[in-house]
Amino acid sequence: MNHNNFIEPAEHVKSIAEYYFSVKLQEVAKMNAEGKNVISLGVGSPDLPPSEYVVEELSKVATRNDVHGYQPYTGIPELKQAYADWYKRSYDVTLNTSEVLPLIGSKEGILHTSLAFLNVGDGVLVPNPGYPTYTSVSKLMRADVIPYDLMESNNWMPDFEALEKMDLRHVKLMWVNYPNMPTSANASIELFEKLVAFGKKHSIVICHDNPYSFILNDKPLSILQIEGAKDICIELNSMSKSHNMAGWRMGVLCSNEQFVKWILKVKSNVDSGQFLPMQKAAIKALSTPKQWHDNMNLLYEQRRLWAYKIMTILGCKYDRNQVGLFVWAKIPDYEVGSEELINDLLYNARVFLTPGFIFGSNGSRYIRISLGSSATKIQQAYERIADYLIKRNTTY
């Protein structure tokens, strides 16, 4: 008997689609299996390893006999302390360990936070364009997703006047993320002050997602630098991009003790902690010297020059003050849309870039290039695209 005839997934599962990259990268893998050798500049996954001594610590601790059991739900105390020390050093934010919750990557923090705060029908403000998980997780919670516009004309900042005009009475959470993905707009203290004030005025929990502050950015900022921010804000942070540890799944959530307790209540029912050698290695990684980040940023700068060149031959317009792991640019008016352009480049130039429409309607005329590949690879992508454009006999 085929049970699929009788069994339907939950309504909230029907309300979301499989993650774009989960689907598209299967297509890219199929092209590669056919020998097409696609250059993928899509996903924001750094290509290089963390510092050597981080991997050494992982290997060394993993050889011990006493490290293979379950670990505390809250993470080991030394890891929480290491995250707190990292916040002090990096952002001058003082946290005690009860205000820190290690995560299995910051992505899961989006789910746990939503589970901890949202009732069915509660309003959630999500940026358009923005990281798609804010919307899909909110839909899974059967919350009322309320997109708020980020526009290039406003430097991709929230428009607080427009927000004030909305009916905010049932809004419980607001997702924000600066340095912003996908637009690469930077954070500022003024923005964070406005967000904290907005959250307090309307009793809205401000969830700031902060995975990009160390990349191509002179001054990493945290929303928790604002006085009183901890009362109303939750900040997610991550070692994925900043320490080249995307596959390790090391993230952290910081807020007031009460919020952390509620979120831990959820999380401790979902997972059973992280492998101890990874936690030990993450502690080492959290004291990575500034010089290491500076060296990474020199590499990212070289990569970004090639990404700019790609955008230029495609006729795209971009801001040179971008920060973070991506270059974001507006496609020319004569292009049909970002999805068509990206597919054209994928099938004909064998280069995969990210179409902006996946981040929301305000991204539909933009494309994104990840800097998570070597300058040589990005240069090769440039050459493939240049050759294709000549063949297509089109000037952009």
Verify binding: residue 112, ligand PLP, rule CB under 6 A: no
How far is CA 162 from each of CA 147, 150, 186, rounded to the nearest angstrom? Answer: 12, 11, 21
Q: Is 106 helix (H, G, I), strand (E, B) or coil?
A: helix
Between strands 100-103 and 354-355, the pairing is unpaired
How far is CA 346 from each of CA 180, 343, 351, 361, rounded to the nearest angstrom? Answer: 26, 5, 5, 22
Verify binding: residue 240, ligand PLP, rule CB under 6 A: yes
Q: Whole-angstrom Cα distance, residue 56 to residue 151?
A: 45
Between strands 354-355 and 366-370, the pairing is antiparallel
- Give 370 or 379: the residue with its C-beta nearer to ligand PLP: 370
Verify binding: residue 86, ligand PLP, rule CB under 6 A: no
User: Which range, of 71-79, 111-119, 238-246, 252-260, touches ligand PLP by CB under 6 A?
Assistant: 238-246
- Are 381 and 41 in contact by the 8 Å Cβ rule? The answer is yes
Verify binding: residue 342, ligand PLP, rule CB under 6 A: no
Beta carbons within 8 Å of 209's beta carbon, 6+ residues apart: 106, 110, 131, 134, 175, 176, 177, 235, 236
Q: Whole-angstrom Cα distance, residue 120 to residue 129?
A: 24
Site string for ligand PLP, 179-218 (x = CB under 6 A): --x---------------------------x-x-------
Verify binding: residue 116, ligand PLP, rule CB under 6 A: no
- Give 114 or 177: the residue with its C-beta nearer to ligand PLP: 177
- Give 242 or 379: the residue with its C-beta nearer to ligand PLP: 242
Shortest Cβ distance from residue 333 to ligand PLP (Å)?
Answer: 28
Verify binding: residue 177, ligand PLP, rule CB under 6 A: yes
Verify binding: residue 349, ligand PLP, rule CB under 6 A: no
Shortest Cβ distance from residue 130 to ligand PLP (Å)?
Answer: 8
Verify binding: residue 252, ligand PLP, rule CB under 6 A: no
Q: What is the DSSP letter of 125?
A: E
Q: Which of 267, 264, 203 is nearest to 233 (CA)?
A: 203
Verify binding: residue 128, ligand PLP, rule CB under 6 A: no
User: Which range, of 105-113, 141-149, 299-307, 373-381, touches ligand PLP by CB under 6 A?
Assistant: 105-113
Shortest Cβ distance from residue 211 to ligand PLP (Å)?
Answer: 5
Verify binding: residue 44, ligand PLP, rule CB under 6 A: yes
What is the biggest distance separating any 2 CA atoms in the chain, rounded to whole angstroms? 64
Verify binding: residue 251, ligand PLP, rule CB under 6 A: yes
Cis status, amide bond into 158, omega within 30 of 0: no
Q: Whole-angstrom Cα distance, residue 103 to residue 278?
A: 12
Taking CB under 6 A as the criterion, the residue among 24, 107, 365, 384 binding ligand PLP is: 107
- Give 229 or 239: the residue with its C-beta nearer to ligand PLP: 239
Taking CB under 6 A as the criterion, the residue among 42, 46, 105, 179 binding ligand PLP is: 105
| Percent helix, percent strand, percent coil in the chain, to nearest 5 | 45, 15, 40
Shortest Cβ distance from residue 121 to ligand PLP (Å)?
Answer: 25
Shortest Cβ distance from residue 371 to ligand PLP (Å)?
Answer: 13
Verify binding: residue 267, ligand PLP, rule CB under 6 A: no
Verify binding: residue 283, ligand PLP, rule CB under 6 A: no
**Phi and psi, residue 148, nearest 5°:** -120, 145
Verify binding: residue 238, ligand PLP, rule CB under 6 A: yes
Copy the structure tokens of residue 153: 């004309």
- Dihedral (Cα; 47, 51, 57, 58), 10-degree rounding: -10
Q: Whole-angstrom Cα distance, residue 124 to residue 362?
A: 18
Verify binding: residue 46, ligand PLP, rule CB under 6 A: no
Shortest Cβ distance from residue 370 to ligand PLP (Å)?
Answer: 9
Shortest Cβ distance from residue 218 to ligand PLP (Å)?
Answer: 20
- Give 139 or 208: the residue with its C-beta nearer to ligand PLP: 208
User: Which range, of 102-110, 219-227, 345-353, 366-374, touches ligand PLP by CB under 6 A?
Assistant: 102-110
Q: What is the DSSP letter of 49?
A: -
Residues that bind ligand PLP (CB under 6 A): 44, 105-107, 131, 177, 181, 209, 211, 238, 240, 246, 251
